[in-house]
Amino acid sequence: MAYAIGEAVPWPVPPDWGTAVRDTRAWLTDYINPRNGARQKRQLRLSPRRTVEFNVVATDANRRLVDALRFDQGARQWLLPIWPDLQYLSASLSLGSTSIPCATTGYDFADAGQALLWSAPNHWEVVQVATVESDHLALSAATLAIWPAGTRLYPLRLARVPDAAQESLWTDDASQIKVVMQVDEPCDWPAVAPATTYRGYPVLEWRGEESSGPNTKYDRAIQTVDGTTGAIVYIDLPAQPFRTQSHNWQLVYRAEYAAFLSLLYWLRGRMGTLWMPSFASDLLLAASVASDAISVSVEWAGYTVFGRQQSNRRDIRIELYSGAVLYRRITASIEAGNTETLTLDSALGVAVAPADVRCISFMTLSEQAADSISIDHVTDADGLAQAQTTWAGIRHDV
């Protein structure tokens, strides 16, 4: 532990994992929503603002240390350990080491950044990272102590405490402290779009966690004219609904967490546009379909009367139990008694029986409904994280 008065100091006491560590990234979109629903937008931040919230249970010497640091540091910069990116040294690290063998893929290490070697709240060392390699950190200055196997290693980010960290005293020597830190440097991450595309836009194929029940609704841009003395006039200028759909995420292990972050950085808040399947059985296949057929028979669902190939109600995702997924556009439809015959823009290319189909879902061209997304780390990132996104359908001519 080396500390000079006035310099940034690491928050030394790890969080209480009885409550999740919340990591929030907030982009900023300049957003214009005209009355006809043809939205216009532009990105205002190159990197998202990042906020990390966590609870600390401190007793005895740890409580006194945290109290002293809160008093002394005030509005100065801190070094925030990225708690979910914890790992342990697999072997002893000698004094004067210029590299640290460790995993780096999916961790928040950065070139020219910093990392923390930690074994106790009063025994730690901040190291300067020159470059992040695939299996180690190359340091720009040698380590100042011997660190045994099992020492904790965290990435560090410069941060501030924008509001006073509130302490709840349980006893005269035990307390809980809620800490909110605003990261004070850019936190970039590789942006990766979904691999599958349809009509020039990616398709989100990552099905949500559905045990808590995703929610959907149809928003309309309705304006009212109320003269107070007569009937209210309702004007639906876009003349179409905008489907809103929530999406719950259960991110298991670091690879899923890293992939989710890459998706968020591609979306950049509300900037990104993709196809969002309902993942519901919106249509049920009523008869087998030959590989070269361009029409399919589905159980009657009111599509011919109410769907009518309208925008965001004509593009379908056909998921088979084999794992194959087909995308097609409905170009025409007619009722046929208890069934409806749908004409597709092209043949399926494979013979499909009703028993082969897991679900046929409508797809909506969508964007995120918010610029800010929070990830709740139930454990470190090698375990479980949870998040929720909300998708809003857009008006388009695709």
Q: Where are the alpha helices (DSSP H) in the chain?
A: 60-73, 253-267
Amino acid 3: pLDDT: 58
Residue 276, amino acid: M
| Tokens encoding 282 | 């919106």
Give the residue from 117, 101, 104, 396 showing the smallest Cα distance to 273. Answer: 396
Alpha carbon of 315 to those of 234, 340, 353, 360: distances in Å? 29, 16, 20, 10
241 and 389 housed in the same domain: yes
Continuous segment of H or E residues that includes residue 232? none
- CB-based burial, 57-82: b 16+ in 10 Å, e otherwise: bbeeebbeebeebbeebeeebbbbbb
Q: Is residue 219 part of a domain?
A: yes
Q: Is residue 3 part of a domain?
A: no
- Residue 105: CB atoms within 10 A of its CB come to 11
169 and 276 housed in the same domain: no
The tally of domains found in the chain comes to 2
Q: Are 102 and 71 within 8 A, CB to CB?
A: no
Q: Is residue 383 part of a domain?
A: yes
Query: Considering 130, 160, 183, which residue would you say is the last residue of a domain?
Result: 183
| Tokens encoding 293 | 């057929």
Q: Are 159 and 79 within 8 A, CB to CB?
A: yes
DSSP annotation of 322 reads: T
208 and 287 housed in the same domain: yes
Distance CA 229, CA 273 (A): 44
- Residue 252: CB atoms within 10 A of its CB come to 12
358 and 239 housed in the same domain: yes
Q: Is residue 177 part of a domain?
A: yes
Backbone φ and ψ of 66, nearest 5°: -65, -40
Q: Are 330 and 288 within 8 A, CB to CB?
A: no
Cα dihedral 71, 72, 73, 79 sign: negative
| Tokens encoding 202 | 């990616």
DSSP annotation of 84 reads: G
Distance CA 85, CA 261 (A): 14
| Tokens encoding 229 | 């003395």
Backbone φ and ψ of 130, nearest 5°: -85, -55
60 and 175 housed in the same domain: yes
Please give the residue range of the domain that contains residue 113: 9-183
Query: Considering 128, 154, 183, which residue would you say is the last residue of a domain?
Result: 183
Q: Is residue 189 part of a domain?
A: no
385 and 306 housed in the same domain: yes
Q: Is residue 334 part of a domain?
A: yes
Q: Is residue 312 part of a domain?
A: yes
Distance CA 236, CA 284 (A): 31
Residues 6 or more apart in contact with residue 71 via CB below 8 angstroms: none
Distance CA 216, CA 220 (A): 13
133 and 232 housed in the same domain: no
Residues 6 or more apart in contact with residue 357 via CB below 8 angstroms: 284, 285, 318, 319, 320, 321
Give the rounded distance of the alpha carbon of 281 from its chain centre. Answer: 25
265 and 135 housed in the same domain: no
Q: Is residue 190 part of a domain?
A: no
Continuous segment of H or E residues that includes residue 14? none
Amino acid 267: pLDDT: 97
255 and 148 housed in the same domain: no
Query: Considering 114, 148, 183, which residue would you say is the last residue of a domain?
Result: 183
Cα dihedral 254, 256, 261, 265 sign: positive
Backbone φ and ψ of 367, nearest 5°: -135, 170
User: Reduced to 3 states, what is the DSSP secondary structure of residue 261?
Assistant: helix
Beta bridge partner(s), residue 203 = 275
Amino acid 192: pLDDT: 97
| Tokens encoding 353 | 């029986």
Amino acid 4: pLDDT: 54
145 and 41 housed in the same domain: yes
| Tokens encoding 365 | 């061209």
230 and 171 housed in the same domain: no
DSSP annotation of 164 reads: P
Distance CA 66, CA 75 (A): 15
Beta bridge partner(s), residue 318 = 326, 360
- Residue 209: CB atoms within 10 A of its CB come to 15
Amino acid 55: pLDDT: 94
| Tokens encoding 343 | 């004409």
242 and 370 housed in the same domain: yes
Per-residue pLDDT of the chain (398 residues; tens, 9 = 90+): 655 555 789 999 999 999 999 999 999 999 887 777 777 889 999 999 999 999 999 889 989 998 888 888 877 899 999 999 999 999 999 999 999 999 999 999 999 999 999 999 999 999 999 999 999 999 999 999 999 999 999 999 999 988 777 788 888 888 899 999 999 999 999 999 999 999 999 999 999 888 877 899 998 888 889 888 989 998 888 888 889 999 999 999 999 999 999 999 999 999 999 999 999 999 999 999 999 999 999 999 999 999 999 999 999 999 999 999 999 999 999 999 999 999 999 999 999 999 999 999 999 999 999 999 999 999 998 999 999 999 999 988 88
